[in-house]
Amino acid sequence: MAELEVKDRDNNKVETVAVSDDVFGVTVREHLVQRYVVMQLATRRSGTAKTQNAKNEVRGGGKKPWRQKGTGRARQGSIRSANWVGGMVVFGPTPRDYGFTLSKKSKKLALKSVLTDRLQNGGITVVKDLSLEEPKTRLAMALISKLELPRKTLFVLAEDNNNLRLAVRNLPHVDCLSVDGLNVYDLLRHERLVLTPEAVKKIEERLN
């Protein structure tokens, strides 16, 4: 069982917290991580692309453009058929849902894989307390500066911390998530994961 340093708001070590190998020490399964990200992005697709795939969807073309025989030209029944400019589209896109699902076991293994990778590469910081007195961006920036956090940082909260959530809202690459909303895509988008000891325990409870 690995141990992580717990730091105070001034970036000084105050204690340690043990983390479960069942969550932070598993074999990294890259294929599940990739499938999880594809699933998330596919679910977000609007799927509203639509073309006019039938002649009755295209305006006009009710009259036969010329007689069937005797003109020397190819026979045509409508100026809105697929081989005419402005006509129907063959095999064009129609509204659809691109989303798909993974099993609960696969989702958990993907999350565990990313958490393990973050731990092994020094991408997790545990802070004793993340509360702010006021929802001010300057206070959030001061906290990030003292903790020497990178530009892309994700705060994972065990309980609602409205002041911190509002304070980082104006920072383009800093986000807050609850433990229940933890997902692979947001973990991969950020360089550093910032947790409290309570968040560590809650993540272990969720994934075990």
DSSP state letters, 143-193: HHHHTT--SSEEEEESS--HHHHHHTTTSTTEEEEEGGG--HHHHHH-SEE
Task: Give me the domains of the chain, ranges plus CATH numbers.
Answer: 2-29+102-207 (3.40.1370.10), 46-97 (no CATH)
Per-residue pLDDT tens for 80-113? 999 999 899 999 999 999 999 999 999 999 999 9
Question: What average pLDDT score do residues 9-35 get?
Answer: 93
Q: Among 206, 144, 142, which Cα is nearest to 175's? A: 144
Query: Residue 196 has what pLDDT?
Result: 93
- Distance of alpha carbon 10 from the chain centroid: 31
Confidence of residue 124 (pLDDT cuts 50, 70, 90): very high
User: pLDDT over 70 for what percent of the chain?
Assistant: 100
Query: Residue 52 has what pLDDT?
Result: 92
DSSP secondary structure code for residue 75 in this structure: P
CA distance 34 to 128: 32
Confidence of residue 62 (pLDDT cuts 50, 70, 90): confident
DSSP secondary structure code for residue 85 in this structure: T
Q: For residues 87-106, b (16+ Cβ closer than 10 Å) or e, as one string?
A: bbeeeeeeeeeeeeebeeeb
Q: Among 17, 199, 18, 25, which Cα is nearest to 112's? A: 25
Confidence of residue 136 (pLDDT cuts 50, 70, 90): very high
User: pLDDT over 90 for what percent of the chain?
Assistant: 80
